[in-house]
């Protein structure tokens, strides 16, 4: 049986998963995205050029690697087309190396409008979504109002589906948001045009993966978002609309859990979060701004400022347990260079709140207990050997291993793919 590895974010997203995926792709035959949609933003700097991926697996930058989008993903096919066009000059054979599952649900134009309507209706209780239509698309999937990518292969059947679904969507658009109703004929023209374009990409992704594993192929599974944004295990309702923990892989790719050999969890050397929701170790004022500036913490998808704080071990251990993680990757260690003192949250002060609870109602009762460690002033971006890191940086890595009980196999110390230390 072939080797398979899963990569999952352990915080509130933006941990640098794409860097880890890019690194592990070197030994992979397939890279598969298993959930989420164009609300994800994975950034890789390769050969001095910055690439931001939203739907295409970031392993596409490696020659001869096949990239797949599993049925657990909701596909904005217009966004997907834009990504393909943008990458053609860098990856000339891109169209022959990507397969999209016929089981993916389509993010329709009306989903994006509804996303904004729902956020506006919530007023001060808004969640801070990306507005990309992801939530409404997943909602329609659960309501059985969805349109699958495979429907684009038969436009007559697609029209029949829309004749049933569109009146429901128009009721929501016109009554909740005072929007113009979507015209079926106009929408079908748009769908026909995009159907002709995407048809060559459509295939049976779960079968391709399982057949590949049977033939000893190496498969890398790529998650978007993170455990703390998982719809079931994250800080609900301040979460994404899919299972972004390891649990999403099996439904999102049609793969037996026994076929995943190793689960890598990715964590920054500190914490960030975009949008609303609990964040026990958040730094405010100048402290938070300094960390944001040092880490260039702005959303790859939205451009929004990320909230920043110290590394939270109780939350990290919760995420590790939720996804059965057995290997860690520690990213952006270089951002902590220059701090005289570095803090790690090792406990919470409060009865019944010594461990992380994913119920946001408890967050006001959580008070972080910090371990303070000496920092380092040296620039570490050109170091490639653990033993050559400043002793304080080594101690930080070893302390995270000790507190989590897991080995750290990869540390990133800069934006480019070469700035990594393999342990």
Q: List residues with catalytic annotation.
A: 14, 42
Measure the CA–CA gap between 39 and 179, rounded to whole angstroms: 23
Neighbours of 182 (CB within 10 A): 19
Cα–Cα distance for residue pair 72/81, rounded to 1 Å = 19
The CA-based angle 245-10-320, given to 5 degrees, is 80
CB 400 within 8 A of CB 373: no
In Å, what is the CA distance from 328 to each residue of 134, 156, 359, 403, 406? 29, 49, 25, 12, 7
- Taking the C-alpha atoms of residue 260 and residue 195, their distance in angstroms, rounded to an integer, is 33
- Provide the token pair at 53: 């991926």
Distance, in Å, from the CA atom of 340 to the CA atom of 334, rounded to the nearest integer, reads 14
The answer to whether residues 69 and 99 touch, using CB atoms and an 8 Å cutoff, is yes
Give the separation between CA 295 and CA 268, rounded to whole angstroms. 10
223: left (phi over 0), alpha (psi -120 to 50) or beta: beta
Q: Most distant CA pair in the chain: distance in Å?
A: 67
Pairing of strands 341-348, 368-374: antiparallel
Cα dihedral sign for 253, 202, 192, 158? negative
- Buried b or exposed e, range 396-408, using 16+ CB within 10 angstroms: bbebbeebbebeb
Chain-centroid distance, C-alpha 180: 33
Q: How many CB atoms lie within 10 A of CB 92?
A: 9
Give which of 259, 264, 263 is closest to 216, Cα–Cα. 259
Give me the phi and psi of 69, to 5 degrees please: -115, 115
């Amino acid at each position: 049986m072939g080797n398979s590895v899963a990569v999952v974010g352990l915080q509130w997203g933006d941990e640098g998963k794409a860097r880890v995926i890019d690194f592990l792709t070197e030994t992979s035959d397939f890279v598969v995205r298993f959930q989420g949609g164009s609300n994800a933003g994975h950034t890789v700097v390769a050969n001095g050029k910055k690439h931001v991926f939203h739907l295409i697996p970031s392993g596409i930058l490696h020659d001869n690697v096949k990239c797949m989008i599993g049925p657990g993903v909701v596909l904005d096919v217009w966004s997907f087309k834009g990504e393909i066009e943008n990458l053609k000059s860098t990856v000339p054979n891109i169209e022959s190396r990507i397969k999209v599952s016929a089981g993916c649900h389509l993010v329709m134009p009306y989903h994006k409008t509804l996303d904004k309507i729902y956020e506006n209706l919530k007023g001060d209780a808004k969640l801070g979504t990306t507005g990309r239509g992801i939530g409404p698309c997943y909602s329609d999937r659960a309501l059985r109002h969805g349109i699958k990518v495979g429907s684009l292969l038969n436009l007559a059947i697609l029209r029949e589906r829309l004749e049933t679904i569109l009146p429901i969507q128009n009721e929501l658009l016109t009554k909740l948001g005072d929007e113009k109703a979507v015209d079926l004929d106009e929408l079908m023209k748009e769908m026909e045009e995009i159907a002709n374009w995407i048809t060559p990409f459509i295939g049976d992704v779960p079968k391709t993966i399982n057949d590949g594993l049977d033939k000893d192929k190496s498969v890398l599974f790529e998650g978007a978002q993170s455990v703390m944004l998982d719809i079931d295990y994250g800080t609900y309702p301040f979460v994404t609309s899919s299972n972004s923990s390891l649990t999403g892989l099996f439904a999102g790719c049609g793969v037996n859990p026994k076929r995943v050999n190793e689960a890598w969890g990715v964590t920054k050397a500190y914490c960030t979060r975009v949008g609303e929701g609990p964040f026990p170790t958040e730094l405010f004022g100048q402290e938070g701004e300094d960390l944001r500036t040092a880490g260039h913490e702005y959303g790859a998808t939205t451009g929004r400022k990320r909230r920043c704080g110290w590394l939270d071990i109780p939350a990290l251990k919760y995420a590790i347990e939720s996804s059965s993680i057995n290997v860690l990757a520690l990213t952006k260690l270089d951002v902590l260079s220059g701090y005289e003192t570095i803090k790690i949250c090792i406990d919470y002060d409060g009865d019944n709140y010594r461990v992380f609870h994913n119920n946001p109602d408890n967050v006001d009762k959580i008070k972080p207990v910090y371990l303070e460690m000496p920092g380092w002033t040296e620039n570490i971006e050109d170091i490639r050997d653990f033993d050559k890191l400043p002793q304080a940086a080594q101690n930080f890595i070893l302390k995270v291993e000790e507190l989590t009980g897991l080995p750290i196999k990869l540390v990133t110390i800069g934006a480019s793919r070469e700035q990594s230390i393999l342990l």
